[in-house]
Amino acid sequence: MNESLLINFAVVILFLPLLGFIVTLLLGKKVSKIFIFENLVMLIGLILSIVLLIAKVTTFNNVSISSEFMWIDMGDVPVIGQIQIFLGLLLDDISALMIFVVFLISFLVHFFSIDYMKGDIRYNRYFAYLGLFTFSMAGIVLTHNLLMMYIFWELVGVSSYLLIGFWFEKKSASDAGKKAFIVNRIGDLGFLLGLLTLFLTYNTFSFVEIFTEISQGNLPLNSEFGLTITGIFIFCGAVGKSAQFPLHVWLPDAMEGPTPVSALIHAATMVAAGVYLVVRIFGILTADAMLIIATIGALSALIPATIALTQNDIKRVLAYSTVSQLGYMIMALGVGAYKFAFFHLITHAFFKACMFLGSGSVIHAMHHEQDIQNMGGLRKKMPITYATFLISAIAISGIPLTSGFLSKDGILAGTYAFGTLTGHWYFPFIGFLVAMMTAFYMFRLIILTFHGEPRNKEKYEHAHESSFIMVMPLVVLSILSFFIWYTPNPMDPEAGWMYSDWIKNPELHTPENLRFGFMQSDVTSVITPPGEHRIMYSETYTAALHHVHGSAVFLSIAMAVLGILLAFVMYQWKKISADILADKLKPLYKFSYNKWYFDELYHKIFVAGTIGLSRLIAWFDLKVIDGIVDGSAAVTKAFSKSIGWFDDNVIDGLVNLTASVSAFIGLIFSKFQTGKVQTYIIMVIFSLVILLFLFKSF
Amino acid sequence: MNFPILTFLTFIPVVGMIVILFLKKENIKGIKYTALIATGIQVILAVFLMGNYNYSLGGINDASSFQFVELFRWIEIHDFPWIGTIKIDYFMGVDGLSTPLVLLTAIITFIATLSSWTIDKQLKGYFALFLLLDTGMMGVFVSLDFFLFFVFWEIMLLPMYFLIGIWGGPRREYAAIKFFLYTLFGSIFILLVMIGLYFSTTEVLADGSKVFTFNILEMMNTANYTSDGILSPLNPNNWRFLAYIGLFAGFAIKIPMFPFHTWLPDAHVEAPTPISVILAGVLLKMGIYGILRFNYPIFPEITQQLAWYIGLFGMINIIYGALAAMAQRDFKKLIAYSSISHMGYCLLGMAALNTMGISGAILQMFNHGTITAMLFLIVGVLYDRTHTRNLDDFGGMATQMPIYTGFVTVAFFAAIGLPGLSGFISEIFVFLGAFSYDTIRIIAIISTLGILLGAGYMLWTLQRVYLGTLKEKWAGLKDLDRREYLMFIPLTLIIIFLGIYPSAMLDVMNTSVNTMVKFMQDSQMFFSSFGG
């Protein structure tokens, strides 16, 4: 296998889902079994992506392979210079790993949906949309330039619009789709501006070329501020897609879509795209930009976690949990814990997809009941769903032996180290706090759903374990939540292939003086602990990380256990009544339950504001501008009327006067016209006499 | 002499019109098919023109690099009192600026003819006027003599007036008169500037004598200006600025540019569907085309001075149009305002004065032509079936008319600027161009709000009309028929094709746009030597 074959693999992987989309969409009405084709296509894609991943981490480790073609060639143009826009693919460690994750989850979701969506009137169309979505996502992962990233970014937006609003007969579903698209577009405006800034400076969109230029000290807009602002602009795109504060509001609403869709796009892929984007541009972020990113991430981790504590809709809890976990990743990137962030992206994709599909399984069994207050006791009825859900919940809480522990602990250690290095202690504080809240609300969810006595007997009686088609994906995903896939040592991810072979240290291109101190090339002579040579950024950083590692592990486990314990105390053993607590902390409870009133606030300010403004403009257009136009027409008309009157009465009066005078004269003279020859002769003679007299005087 | 393709392109519709005038009133089929054949031949010719177009020739100010040129003396009067020799040429030719628009005109007119099938009132008169309008539009895009251009410009006006005024909706007369007077008002400015330019530029004839000229290309050459000509840059009383504004206003009304835009919603709402299609698809392009063809190369120094304002008006169009669209209840009026918003991108791109911006503007004209034509057809299809355009009356059409809704989705997302569809490329080019020009960078940044607002009102409309549950009264509606397929499919294919392979159109205009940018830059130096 050589490089060009590998990249051809990638091309095939990219276009397979598009093929699936087109075929399934066009034949969907005629061939009822066409969804099998879509599933088959995804299976082939998955197999290819596994081959690709294996080839990449074995033979082609450390190599990035790219291939491009010229899309738009404007040649050498005046004023700007060379304009050639390339599209192409880049296959490096990150994209190979990510494309596998995308295809794995996408395939499992396709498979799960075969049963879940059974009987839907637009069954085939659903699979077609899944294909379109997977295509868009694959494009984001495999692209080698920012423009193509933006293109597929928007395509992800539209396919998620179609999927979220799939049951468009429901107003809430079409509202949610619209909201998702528009809120995402707000972030995309920033992304676009970042894109423009970079193109303006470098006349290229290619990651590699831009990075090279920046390494050489050519900064966007020729200023350090330019580099910072570019990073933040592009990050805006990630804020939208990854549902970060303050644009997180679309994600919980997006739960209106079919549940497998939530698993696919709201747990594992679309929302991961934002994190992936930041991973891609990590090398050019300045310290200022990173601090902003970390702050946004921390807020996004904290706020939704507090909301998830009180929600009763099973999917909404998961949705807020997703936002919170994505916030973790973004915060991790902001504090420089690059590897852990990307690792968490992958582990989270598996266990969160498992939980979403698990909730789908529950909702399916409960006949579209989503309120956990009406559930309970399902553990006996749905043992496999319960087991897989439990494993995933343990993973997300960060209990050892799970993948979640490995990645989450890494992130927490990263924030902790960041705290020691820079003094920004609120990041680790929020990190640990959120860890506890996560464990709490996850086990609250599990206890209320699966444990205890059934609170809705009737629905409970009808509930049953789901079919093989729906359970199989759950099992696969929960198995992937164990540590063994990533490292042989359950306590130390660094011992495994994940960090050494698959996720490499990031290459930094930001000028040294714009980085955090610990990210600058090492000059200090910190002694590396013996046997440790894995240096990320600098030895200072490595040392700090090692220094805090022990306490971070201890703290994170403690927090998780504390959270789980609290959940059991409140909901399983009922030592503390949740209702009484809620009553005591009523304002806080209501604040959390109503999601911090973000939706109300945004609706009042932005939505109502825009619509109000648009009405004002429309009024202005109709009354003022058109008023002037019609007014001037009216004035002209009135003027012309008065002219008309003048014309009729004065001018024409004069004319008529002349006419009447002449008529009068004519009348008189007509008397002379008698028709008698004698009279005429007399008159001629008379006239002659007069004329003679006249001429005589000359 | 080669085959005079431009003359054929321009006058084939008139031939069709004459045939129709000889046909009996009752011969409905004959009338319809005559129009269809005439516009069909036009499409074939336009495609042929594209196929034989040489991408490496620039045009703009250089007569020898125009293509398919036809030039002969049209009117020549010697020893005319006061003036001397009057000479007007029949001068036609195309370059990268006009070729895309010629193709657009042919395609849109053909599709509008198909859409005219549902007209049932005085067919003979309708199609006769329709074809005359076609000739006027085509002539505008291919004329290189100002006088000839003006003749075609005015020819367009009359049929349009009647087409709206006779075949339109309830307020048709108001709309028709508003359209007519507005455009005529603009024409007066164009006429004045035309005469001013005529008396300021001379052309050297074969015998060495100098005569005044209407030739646009000669007007671009500063060497041709007489020293005392009223619009000569050598004239110390600089009337050029005022002339520029006048000419610009004349064209701006057609775009339509804020605040001269209010004729458009009325005209659209009252016009029958095919006329709306033509109005949005072709007529609106003439404003931008006129500015690029006349204002830019003839007055490069003032263009430079006013670029910021052009960009500003572009921004106002984009945002104002989008906001006004959002508040509309009438589906057609909403699309009309969205047109205003989308034409703002053209202004913004033009103001960039660089290749990306101007290419983006021209491409946006083409794309807006196809996309908005499709949007008006979409409204038309719905109106034919329901006889209402009130957005609140609809809902759930997607369940009743799924294939139609499929086309709707493509058109709506193209209008929003979704990548993969043509609208995206032109928008991004406009932004790339405008952002590159530091004078209007801030304007470009604010204008990006337009793509957000666009998504807002478009998706809202999509939701209100097509999503949700079907209202009972629409339960019997039929999905598209074969003729309607024939209207939608070509447009959809063009929209997708240009979204994936924009070079097909960009390459056509590239050399010309570069020539224009370069020419304007060079003349900048010339003018700066005058200190103005």
Give residue-wise pLDDT tens across range B356-385: 999 999 999 999 999 999 999 999 999 989
Dmax (CA) for chain A in angstroms is 153
Of A79, A175, A185, the CB nearest to B452: A185
Question: In this predicted structure, what is the pLDDT of residue B251?
Answer: 94
What mean pLDDT is predicted for residues B501-512?
Answer: 92
Going by the DSSP 8-state scheme, the letter that residue A31 receives in this structure is -
Question: In this predicted structure, what is the pLDDT of residue A581?
Answer: 83
Which one is predicted more confidently, A673 or B253? B253
Two tokens, residue A416 = 């902790």
Confidence label for B108 from pLDDT (cuts 50, 70 and 90): very high
Q: Is B443 in contact with B315 (CB distance < 8 Å)?
A: yes
Q: Is B274 in contact with B129 (CB distance < 8 Å)?
A: no
Q: Is A615 on the interface with B (CB under 8 A)?
A: yes
What mean pLDDT is predicted for residues B351-358?
Answer: 92
DSSP-derived pairing of the beta strands B202-204 and B84-94: unpaired
Q: Is B179 on the interface with A (CB under 8 A)?
A: no
Question: In this predicted structure, what is the pLDDT of residue B418?
Answer: 92
Question: In this predicted structure, what is the pLDDT of residue B323?
Answer: 94
Smallest CA–CA distance, residue B383 to chain A, in Å, is: 22
Q: Is B444 on the interface with A (CB under 8 A)?
A: yes
Question: In this predicted structure, what is the pLDDT of residue A371?
Answer: 87
What is the ipTM, given to two decimal places? 0.92
Q: Is A629 on the interface with B (CB under 8 A)?
A: yes
CB spacing of A73 vs B503 below 8 angstroms: yes
The amino acid at residue B337 is: Y
Q: Is B460 on the interface with A (CB under 8 A)?
A: yes
Instruction: Map residue A402 onto helix, strand or coil.
Output: strand
pLDDT at A278 over 90: yes
- List Cβ neighbours of A21 (8 Å cut-off, separation of 6 or more): A38, A128, A129, A131, A132, A135
pLDDT at A672 over 80: no
Which one is predicted more confidently, B127 or A496? B127
Q: Is B376 in contact with B273 (CB distance < 8 Å)?
A: yes
Confidence label for A697 from pLDDT (cuts 50, 70 and 90): low
Q: Is B100 in contact with B366 (CB distance < 8 Å)?
A: yes
pLDDT at A530 over 80: no
CB spacing of B355 vs A74 below 8 angstroms: yes
Q: What is the pLDDT of residues A26-40, one digit of tens each?
A: 988 888 888 899 999
Determine if the peptide bond prior to B259 is cis (ω within 30°).
yes
Q: What is the pLDDT of residues A442-470, one digit of tens each?
A: 999 999 888 888 887 888 888 888 888 88
How high is the mean pLDDT of chain B? 90
What mean pLDDT is predicted for residues B289-310?
Answer: 91
Q: At residue A69, what are phi and psi to the nearest 5 degrees?
A: -140, 155
Q: Please state, as a whole number, how many other Cβ atoms lie within 10 Å of the Cβ of residue B411.
A: 27
Going by the DSSP 8-state scheme, the letter that residue A233 receives in this structure is H
Which one is predicted more confidently, B413 or A517? B413
Two tokens, residue A473 = 């994906």
Tokens 């868009």 belong to A136
Confidence label for B530 from pLDDT (cuts 50, 70 and 90): low
Pick among A69, A614, A624, A629 to test the B interface (most B CBs inside 10 A): A614
| Contacts with A, B 341-360, CB within 8 Å | 353-356, 359
Instruction: Map residue B410 onto helix, strand or coil.
Output: helix
Extract the runs of DSSP E, i.e. beta strands, from B236-339.
none
Q: What is the pLDDT of residues B451-481, one digit of tens each?
A: 999 999 999 999 999 998 888 888 888 888 9
Confidence label for B532 from pLDDT (cuts 50, 70 and 90): very low
Two tokens, residue B351 = 């103001």
- List Cβ neighbours of A15 (8 Å cut-off, separation of 6 or more): A135
Confidence label for A83 from pLDDT (cuts 50, 70 and 90): confident
Confidence label for A698 from pLDDT (cuts 50, 70 and 90): low
| Residues in chain B closer than 8 A to A626 (CB atoms) | 262
pLDDT at A526 over 60: no
Chain B residue with CA closest to A77: the answer is B514
The amino acid at residue B44 is: I
Find the helix or strand (DSSP H, E) in which B517 lies: helix B503-528
- List Cβ neighbours of B33 (8 Å cut-off, separation of 6 or more): none
Q: What is the pLDDT of residues A282-333, one digit of tens each?
A: 989 999 999 999 999 999 999 999 999 888 899 999 999 999 999 999 999 9
Question: In this predicted structure, what is the pLDDT of residue A531?
Answer: 47
pLDDT at A522 over 70: no
pLDDT at B199 over 80: yes
Q: What is the pLDDT of residues A407-443, one digit of tens each?
A: 888 899 889 989 888 888 999 999 999 999 999 999 9
Smallest CA–CA distance, residue A106 to chain B, in Å, is: 22
- List Cβ neighbours of A271 (8 Å cut-off, separation of 6 or more): A241, A242, A243, A251, A265, A322, A326
